[in-house]
Amino acid sequence: MSTFTIITVWNKPELFSEFQQELKRQQGVAYTLLGVDNSQNRYLGAREAFLSQMDQVQTEFVVFMHQDIRFQDENALHDLMASAEALEDLGIAGVAGCPEGKDWILYSDIVHGKQALPAGKPVGGSMPVQTVDECLFLMRTDLARKYPFSRRGGWHMYAVEQCLRLRRAGYQNYVISARIWHLSKGGSLEQSYLRTLEELIGEFGADTDYLNTTVKQWATNGRKAALYRVYYLHKMKLKGFLQRHLQWPKD
């Protein structure tokens, strides 16, 4: 098996320490861990944080993981990487993803949230998808250098953006089976997510009628689709206001 580099942006020391201990118990893998300390908000977005580390990556693969990823057994990481190495025309591989098309389906073998519930429909191997989730995804390092992260700010849709770029360049994105627990349930649709969404639809919307992400499907073309996204943005603004001022519970 090839060696690989893991890049993780962290802001909670205890959570990151637990993540490091999880990695240490993984068997049959040789990796380098690059932890990016953002506890003081040095970086304004994930893309910037990842780019700051890419010069240090000397391995065939680079893996981007959230600090709250946990493994269900000691061979989980080995088997995940073995599956990724076998993929042809690989653009991005992730552990949760959505195929292209009008029907929105989330495929994933991982569990997530405090109750460790299934995140999606079973994968049982690997399958082509349009986009993958940000919680864990990987690329070949030479491809990551050829198609580096953009300078777009924020903490949302950076894996989605890379998937769309690699798809446009003729590569195939995949979701692969993984025995992983993502402690967070994810699915944030805050205002900054929706602003990034508009930027990506402006750049890639002509490539597809539907942008399928692991949190929601978005139609990309036509007045109705644009009006819906405006409505959704204002809905999230109102929700945020109520949560801040009226103590509404957060999702």
Amino acid 132: pLDDT: 98
* Domain tally, the chain: 2
For residue 155, name the pLDDT band (cuts at 50, 70, 90): very high
Distance CA 228, CA 122 (A): 30
Output the pLDDT for position 243: 65
* One domain for residues 101 and 221: no
Q: Whole domain around residue 238: which residue ranges?
A: 191-246
Does the structure show a pLDDT above 70 at 251?
A: no
Residues 67 and 168 grouped into a single domain: yes
Share of the chain above pLDDT 70, in %: 93
- The answer to which of 56-60, 115-119, 126-130, 233-237 has the lowest mean pLDDT is 233-237
Helix H or strand E segment including 224: helix 223-246
Among 134-143, 178-187, 209-218, 236-245, where is mean pLDDT lowest? 236-245
Q: How confident is the model at residue 250 (pLDDT cuts 50, 70, 90)?
A: low
pLDDT for the residue numbered 83: 96
Backbone dihedral region for residue 100 (phi beyond 0: left; psi -120 to 50: alpha; all else: beta): beta
Domain boundary among 131, 156, 182: 182
- The CATH number linked to 127 is 3.90.550.10
Q: Bin 192: left if φ > 0, else alpha if -120 < ψ < 50, else beta.
A: alpha
Query: Do the domain assignments include residue 251?
Result: no
Bridge partners of residue 180, in order along the sequence: 71
- Per residue in 231-246, pLDDT (tens digit) is 887 777 766 656 666 6
How far apart CA 81 and CA 194 sit, in angstroms, is 32
In sign, the C-alpha dihedral spanning 232, 66, 83, 91 is: positive
- How many CB atoms sit inside 10 A of residue 125's CB? 11
Q: What average pLDDT score do residues 52-80 get?
A: 97
pLDDT at 248 over 80: no
Q: pLDDT grade, residue 189 (50/70/90)?
A: confident
Same domain, 47 and 86: yes
* Cβ–Cβ < 8 Å for 28, 1: yes
Residues 129 and 237 in one domain: no
In a shared domain, residues 103 and 171: yes
Mean of all residue pLDDT scores within the chain: 93
Q: What is each CA distance from 32 to 11, 29, 36, 62, 145, in whole angstroms?
A: 19, 10, 13, 9, 18
Same domain, 199 and 174: no
Q: How far is CA 11 from the centre of its chain?
A: 17
Same domain, 84 and 125: yes
What pLDDT sits at residue 244?
A: 63
Residue 8 CB-density burial (10 A; 0-12 exposed, 13-18 middle, 19+ buried): buried
Cα angle value 187/195/62 (rounded, 5°): 60
Same domain, 167 and 201: no
For residue 83, being part of any structural domain is answered with: yes
Residues 103 and 161 in one domain: yes
Q: What phi-psi label fits residue 103: left (phi over 0), alpha (psi between -120 and 50 degrees) or beta?
A: beta
The per-residue DSSP string of 117-137 comes to EE-SB--SSEEEESEE-SSEE
At residue 155, what are phi and psi to the nearest 5 degrees? Answer: -120, 20
E strands, the chain, in order:
4-10, 31-37, 61-65, 69-71, 90-94, 96-98, 107-108, 111-112, 117-118, 126-129, 131-132, 136-140, 172-176, 180-182, 210-212, 217-219
